[in-house]
Amino acid sequence: MSEKMHIKLNLIELNTGQISGLPKNPRFIRDFRFEKLKKSIREFPEMLELRELIVVQVKDKFVVLGGNMRLRAMRELGHKTAPCKVVDPNTPVEILRRIVITDNNSFGQDDSEEMANEWDAVELEEWGYELPVWEDDEKEPQEKPEENGMIAITLTDDELELWNATKYRLKIKKDKNAFLKLIESYNEKEQD
């Protein structure tokens, strides 16, 4: 059904719906996640050989069925070729459609407790893994920032990601508890 080859990037096209019966790629990626993807490729390019782009030849070009975001990242990083699995051009469009969706599916689920206890949160974050954000079992009533004793902080996506990673490392779910733990830790260091 497929063969592996290295193909010049200028011969590979994103799936924009140019194959009759195959809608454009349904996936998109946000800025900070795209930066994580580029960082991952830059730091661990060997992974591209293990998880190639999936393409199908259409005339003198190759259209991506799986790996549109990786192709964008490789282009921005200045790659000249990409490892690809090339699907037989006679593959029915119904199968091409299935490849597109199946490649983007995430069937599994992470065991948050296992991740918290057995994996290093800093490594996971460096590798682009998005750490879970725990929801409190009991929701605290939302206070207005102007109420006495209330602190309101607006975070960027990157700052929020860093904050959630810190809570994960501290194994604390609630923002207030994590904030107090950090203050306590800081004060202990100041006293030393």
The average pLDDT across 27-37 equals 85
Indicate whether 183 and 159 sit together in one domain: yes
How would residue 135 be classed by pLDDT, with cut points 50, 70 and 90? Answer: low
The average pLDDT across 12-17 equals 94
Indicate whether 96 and 120 sit together in one domain: no
Distance CA 18, CA 97 (A): 13
Indicate whether 7 and 98 sit together in one domain: yes
Helix (H) / strand (E) element for 5: namely: strand 2-8
Indicate whether 98 and 11 sit together in one domain: yes
Indicate whether 69 and 125 sit together in one domain: no
Q: If you write DSSP's letter for every residue of 148-160 in order, what string do you get?
A: TT-------HHHH
Indicate whether 45 and 84 sit together in one domain: yes
Check residue 174 and give its pLDDT.
81
Answer with the one of 69, 104, 139 that is the final residue of a domain. 104
Distance CA 7, CA 159 (A): 38
Answer with the one of 83, 104, 125 that is the final residue of a domain. 104
Residue 136 in this model has a pLDDT that exceeds 80: no
Q: How far is CA 43 from CA 24, 67, 82, 102, in A?
A: 29, 18, 16, 27
- Boundaries of domain holding 146: 112-191
% of the chain with per-residue pLDDT over 70: 89
Indicate whether 65 and 143 sit together in one domain: no
